[in-house]
Amino acid sequence: MSAYPNDDGNTTPRVGLVTGGTRGIGLAAARCLLQNGWTLSLGVRDASRVPEDLRPGTKPAVQVEHYDADDPGTAATWRAAVLERFGRIDALVHCAGMSGDEPFANVTTEQLEHTWRINTLAPTVLAQAVLPDLRRSGSGRILLVASMSGKRVRNDHIAYTESKFAVVGLAHTLRQQGWEDGVRVCVLCPSFVDTDMTASVTKVSTAEMTRPETIAELIRTMIELPNTASVAELLVNCRLEDMV
């Protein structure tokens, strides 16, 4: 479902917004979607960090726009730029986020607020901005990357855990908001993925971690499902535990 049929029998590529597209899961997702016929708009803080294979000069189906998860105002300006260029928005894939390993006993108010702004407020504001466009699509999709830390607690990294539990709640709220207009929402909760965010992890080796390319394929599957097959939550783990 990466394209819509036109009256003349040709197809129009679907337009997806991807955050965090310069590294990790977001980068893998952007590459996967582009390779499978999607038109993309990448929302990034620093356009110079976009890899060569995803730059508009080499890929006409890619747009790069300024978006900062720490600046809520950039959501509206990014949306406007996408509509001006492509005229539609069919999917939002939100991968941008930050870790937070400050222990409960020592975490500061500033650390809590910063993590919440990046991990929770940002996808909320962005989803609010593009939901009308996803409704008009008739089969709009929202994919929010949360974490297994948003489903169960295995450490005292309170800022990260709180923010990711809230993202799960956001996803279920959005499912109810857009259902009647064909909007389907999935929250993807991975455990350890081999990205720079897990570079300091020692309890699991990188060889054991899930590859970002694997997560990208799951993202594509979720947003290409028909309206009649909705996956509300997708839990992905690289090791055995009670949750999955």
Active site residues: 160
Q: Is 158:129 a contact under the CB 8 Å cutoff?
A: no
Both tokens assigned to 16: 């997806």
Q: Quick one: which of 215, 225, 126 has its CA closest to 184? A: 225
Instruction: Give me the helix-helix angle, 158-178 and 122-137, nearest 10°.
Output: 20
Both tokens assigned to 136: 């008009």
Cross-strand partners of 188: 145, 234
What amino acid occupies position 117? R
Q: Is 88:109 a contact under the CB 8 Å cutoff?
A: no
User: Which residues touch 239 (CB under 8 Å, ≥6 apart)?
Assistant: 191, 192, 204, 208
- Name the DSSP letter for residue 52: G
CA pseudo-torsion sign 221, 56, 136, 68: positive
Both tokens assigned to 8: 């003349």
